[in-house]
A and B are shown apart, each in its own frame.
Chain A
Amino acid sequence: MSADGSQSVLEVSGLGKRYPGGQKDVLADLTLKVEKGEIFGLLGPNGAGKTTTISILSTLIKPTRGSVRICGVDALKHPFKVRPLISLIPQEIALFPKLTGRENMRYFGMLFGLKKIELDLKISETLALFDLDEFADQLITKCSGGIQRRFNIACGILHNPALIFLDEPTVGMDVHSRNALLDRVQQLSLKGSTLIYTTHYMEEAEKICSRVLIMDKGICLAQGATDDLISGNDKYRNLNELFLKTTGK
């Protein structure tokens, strides 16, 4: 529990990572806390360490040091206990392209432990949430890029995960599709899911993220409520300006 009584979904402390044979840390002493229902932006240029951070938090790789607790469970010691609580939605369309959207949802739902009736119900709800009903029985390869991205997210939220890692979900999307997707991401947050959101689009982060962390070369450069950071001492015009100043690029 945090000081104001809300429950931290994610607590990271002193997280560091150096790959075997590597000369320096790709992640150095990262500490952060994310509360329930937050959309937390993880921002940084290429090579900043965002992917490494998400890989550690989603139990894909082990850190060199530090601790990670998800919903109070030590994610490093008990990855199998944590996995039902999280969902990794990669930037790529991480689906089986020769299966239909519905078949993909059914398979991933089963892997998350959903049984027949509950699974059918969740698939219907999620298809409706993402306006995917008419595309549900099309092969993923036959769907447009925007629809594929929606299915990519839909497959990851069937089990109502407490923590969703959403890695650049709007890459390559047109403005309309992007806005529609962002609306749905916000709806997920309103329904109680917590999201760790990475993106290169600062206006996007500014629009949906309640707090952000800006990092580069594995080091945290700034962290806090988005509005506070923008309107802080230096009075930036927007998040984009803050980002450029902070990262020096």
Chain B
Amino acid sequence: MGLLAATLKKELLLLIRDRVGLVLLFVMPAVLVTIVCLVQEKVLNPTTHVLVLDNDKNEIGKIIFKGLKDADNIIAVKGKDVGCNTEAGAKALVNQGQYQFSIIIPEGSTDFAFDQARLFALGQADSPGTNGKRITVYFDPSVQGGFRAAVLSAVSKVLLCLEYEIKLRQAVFPTGRPQDASPPAPWFDIKEAWATEFGFIKMPTSVQQNVPAWALFGIFFICVPLAGSMIQERENKTLDRLKTMPVPGFIFIFGKIAAYVCVCLIQFFFVFLIGKFIFPLLGLPAFVVGGPWIAVFIIIAACAVAAANYGMMLGQLAGSYEQALVIGPTTIVIAAALGGIIVPVYLMPSPMQLISNLSPLAWALDAFYDILLRGKQVKDVLPEAGYLILFGIAAAGISHISFKYKK
């Protein structure tokens, strides 16, 4: 136990004093996760800023504003709250890119609607023609056609529902105007679900996707300094010297793996702290581990074991440090791309989703989805942890065979 502790201490000291290695292990994932979260925030969590200029100042204006405000990913602002009281001003703000679109509700819209409804109830309704009220929607020129159509369709739906609602109320109360024109809760609602096998309770935000993803990427990157240290020990004959010591070889191997597993745990915690405390300062949502922490620990530890053994295999198989420096990062980037670190697996085409199952990073990230997005518990992540450990054992086996038979 003392020798294992001495080896662990030695490895940790070597790691702490390797500044380039530390940058690779800590700064790289921290920078990557921050940049990618900032870049992807708009892609994975599009929020639309809407300016509502309510010249009606009555029921219809209130209902349209409420409808927009309650919609997902829409931030609705009243014109009067931002000092914009004219249509030209609203148009200018959209043109400047401050809002993706603005809705101009004309004055007297509610009175007009009730008058029309009353005439309808009395059987005297006629097409209002050019005397009808027009709601104008100004779009940012950069807004795509599909999005424009969706907004117009949503606004039309709200107006149509309102029209029928008011007509119905006027038919029931022909002599008086109802006090509350708000539509009742709908009888039917639409459940939105993803036609995939991922079983998410909710889709991941950019932070939920990227914090675990890039932390895992950083963990697997330990293969580079680990392989480097092994090659250095082999080339300067320290390994030969150690092999002539009266100490079983597993002490050196376990000591090295234990040190790197410790570093991986610290590395994940470091990225987690950035997600929790730095992201809110950058306008990103804070990273929160909603599921059990013990499940997170199990996955990170299993991932670290897999990565450390992969690093040892790389160190054993690579002929030189330069080779390891090329092969290590290349294989990790490929595994990361396949594993959904760069583009989430659920956004990949089906064949790629199938291939992604080969990447240990995909297993680890899927375990994080289990914890963060599927509401799963410790026992549910054990299979993924098992696959990662098996990967580590396989890598260790290959290292051992190579070590035994390499001249």
For B240, the chain A residues whose CB sits under 8 A away are: 55, 60, 88, 90, 94
Residue B262 interfacial (CB < 8 Å)? no
Q: Contact between A96 and B238 (Cβ–Cβ < 8 Å)?
A: yes
Known A-B contacts A107-B10, A110-B6, A111-B247; A98 and B238 likewise in contact (beta carbons under 8 Å): no
Task: Scan residues 227-244 of chain B and give those whose CB is less than 8 A from a CB of chain A.
Answer: 232, 235-238, 240-244
* Interface size in chain B (residues, C-beta < 8 A): 23
A87 to B246, CA, bound (A): 10
A sample of 9 cross-chain residue pairs with beta-carbon separation below 8 angstroms, ordered by A number, consists of: A19-B407, A20-B407, A59-B244, A87-B244, A90-B236, A94-B240, A94-B241, A95-B238, A107-B6
Q: Who on chain A is nearest to B251 by CB? A: A111
Contact A90 B241 (CB under 8 A): yes
In the complex, which residues of chain B have a beta carbon less than 8 angstroms from the beta carbon of A55?
240
Task: Determine the chain A residues whose CB is within 8 A of the CB of B232 once the complex forms.
Answer: 97
Residue of A nearest to B16 (CB): A98
B161 contacts A by Cβ under 8 Å:
no
- Interface: A32 (CB within 8 A): no
Which A residues between 49 and 99 are near B, CB-CB below 8 angstroms?
55, 58-60, 80, 83-84, 86-99
Interface residues of A in 91-136 (CB under 8 A from B): 91-99, 103, 107-108, 110-113
Check A112/B244 contact, CB under 8 A, given A20-B407, A94-B237, A99-B10: no
User: Is the CB–CB distance between B246 and A113 below 8 Å?
Assistant: yes
Find chain A residues with CB under 8 A from B242 CB: 111
Whether the Cβ atoms of B241 and A98 lie closer than 8 Å is no
Give chain A residues whose Cβ lies under 8 Å from the Cβ of B13: 98-99, 103
Residues of A within 8 A of B244 (CB): 58-60, 83, 86-88
Q: Which residue of A lies closest to B245 (CB)?
A: A111
Q: Please, how many angstroms separate the alpha-carbon atoms of A74 and B199 in the complex?
A: 64
Q: Nearest residue in A to B14 (C-beta to C-beta)?
A: A98
A139 at the interface (CB under 8 A from B): yes
Q: How far is the CA of A88 from the CA of B241 in the complex (A)?
A: 6
Give A160 Cβ to nearest chain B Cβ, in Å: 14
Q: A90-B241, A107-B6, A110-B6 are in contact. Are A96 and B14 (CB under 8 A)?
A: yes
Contact with A99, one of B2, B14, B235 (Cβ below 8 angstroms): B14
**What separation, in Å, do the CA atoms of A103 and B247 have in the docked complex?**
18
- CB of B407, distance to nearest CB on chain A (Å): 6
CB distance from A70 to the nearest CB of B (A): 12
Q: Which residue of A lies closest to B10 (CB)?
A: A107
A19 to B332 CA separation, bound complex (whole angstroms)? 35
Q: Does B17 contact A (CB under 8 A)?
A: yes
Q: Which residues of A contact B3 (CB under 8 A)?
A: 110-111
B18 at the interface (CB under 8 A from A): yes
Q: How far is the CA of A58 from the CA of B18 in the complex (A)?
A: 31
Known: A58-B244, A94-B238. 6 other contacts (CB 8 A): A55-B240, A87-B244, A88-B240, A90-B241, A99-B13, A103-B13
Chain A residue contacts of B246, Cβ below 8 A: 80, 83-84, 111-113
Complex CA–CA separation, A58 to B244 (angstroms): 6
Contacts from A to B (Cβ < 8 Å):
19-20, 55, 58-60, 80, 83-84, 86-99, 103, 107-108, 110-113, 139, 156
Complex contacts, A94 vs chain B, CB 8 Å:
236-238, 240-241
Q: Give CA–CA (A90, B3) in the complex, Å.
A: 22
* A contact residues around B2 at 8 Å (CB): 110
Instruction: Let me know if B245 and A83 touch, CB within 8 A.
Output: yes
Residues of chain B within 8 A of A98, CB atoms compared = 13-14, 17-18
Q: Tell which of B6, B13, B14, B237 has the most Cβ of chain A within 10 Å.
A: B237
Q: Which of B3, B241, B242 has the most CB of A within 10 A?
A: B241
Q: Which of B17, B18, B246 has the most CB of A within 10 A?
A: B246
Q: Is the CB of A92 within 8 A of B237?
A: yes
Distance in angstroms from B372 CB to nearest chain A CB is 38
A37 to chain B, nearest CB (A): 22
Chain A residues with CB under 8 A of B235: 92
Instruction: Specify the chain A residue showing the minimal Cβ separation from B2.
Output: A110
Residues of B near A84 (CB, < 8 A) are: 246
B1-55 with Cβ < 8 A to chain A: 2-3, 6-7, 10, 13-14, 17-18
Closest to A96 in B: B14
- Find out whether the CB atom of B243 lies under 8 angstroms from the CB atom of A93: no
Q: Which of B10, B232, B235 has the largest number of chain A CB atoms within 10 A?
A: B10
With a cutoff of 8 Å between Cβ atoms, the chain B residues found around residue A108 in the complex are 241, 245
Q: Kindly state the separation between the CA atoms of A178 and B61 in the bound complex, as whole angstroms.
A: 94
Complex Cα distance A59/B246, Å?
11
From A111, which residue of chain B is reached at the shortest CB distance? B245
Interface string of B64-76 (1 = CB under 8 A from A): 0000000000000
The answer for the CA separation of A47 and B379 in the assembled complex, in Å, is: 59
Is the CB–CB distance between B17 and A112 below 8 Å?
no
A91: chain B residues within 8 A (beta carbon)? 237
CA distance A248 to B13 in the complex (A): 50
On chain B, the residues within 8 Å of A87 by CB distance are: 244
B17 contact from A19, A88, A95, A139, Cβ within 8 A: A139
For the complex formed, measure the closest distance between the CB of B225 and the CB atoms of chain A, giving whole angstroms: 11
Judging by beta carbons under 8 Å apart, are A92 and B236 in contact?
A: yes
Task: Tell me which residues across on chain A come within 8 A of B241, comparing CB atoms.
Answer: 88-90, 94, 108, 156
A107's nearest neighbour on chain B, judged by CB, is B10
Q: Are B236 and A93 in contact (CB under 8 A)?
A: yes
Minimum Cβ distance to chain A for residue B224 (Å)? 16
Which residue from chain B places its CB closest to the CB of A109 in the assembled complex?
B6
Contact A60 B17 (CB under 8 A): no
Q: Which residue of B lies closest to A159 (CB)?
A: B246
What is the bound-complex CA distance between A188 and B236, given in angstroms? 24
CA distance A89 to B237 in the complex (A): 9
Residue of B at shortest CB range from A106?
B6
Q: In whole angstroms, how far apart are the Cα atoms of A93 and B237 in the complex?
A: 8
A96 and B237 alpha carbons, distance in the complex (Å): 10
User: Which 3 A-B pairs give the minimum distances between C-beta atoms?
Assistant: A90-B237, A83-B246, A98-B17
Nearest A residue (CB) for B19: A98
